[in-house]
Amino acid sequence: MKQITDEEISSLSFEDAMTRLEESVRSLEQGNLSLEESVAVFEFGNKLKNHCDQKLKEAKLMIEKVIKTSKDSVARVEPVDS
């Protein structure tokens, strides 16, 4: 599995990052990697997970900004169900 740079990770969509993360997990689960390869894949997967977490936080903030009350047209923040 070809790993990509941090810059390339930051440009991935949530869905693409999740696909890459799932591939990393499968690769680790197979147990065919050396210790060094396993550590590298784990670190790569951790970067992908952090990227996915950030994308989810950004989406949650966008949703919270859109929610408005009908009276007074005052914006309010409502938690999004997890």
* Model confidence pLDDT, tens digit, residues 31-69: 999 999 999 999 999 999 999 999 999 998 887 777 654
Beta carbons within 8 Å of 42's beta carbon, 6+ residues apart? 24, 28
Which has the closest alpha carbon to 48: 73, 34, 69, 27? 27
Beta carbons within 10 angstroms of residue 44's beta carbon: 19
d(CA 70, CA 9): 40
Residues 2-29: tens digit of each pLDDT: 778 999 999 999 999 999 999 999 999 9
Which has the closest alpha carbon to 78: 61, 55, 53, 57? 61
Domain ranges of the chain: 6-66
Query: What's the pTM value of the predicted model, to 2 decimals?
Result: 0.76
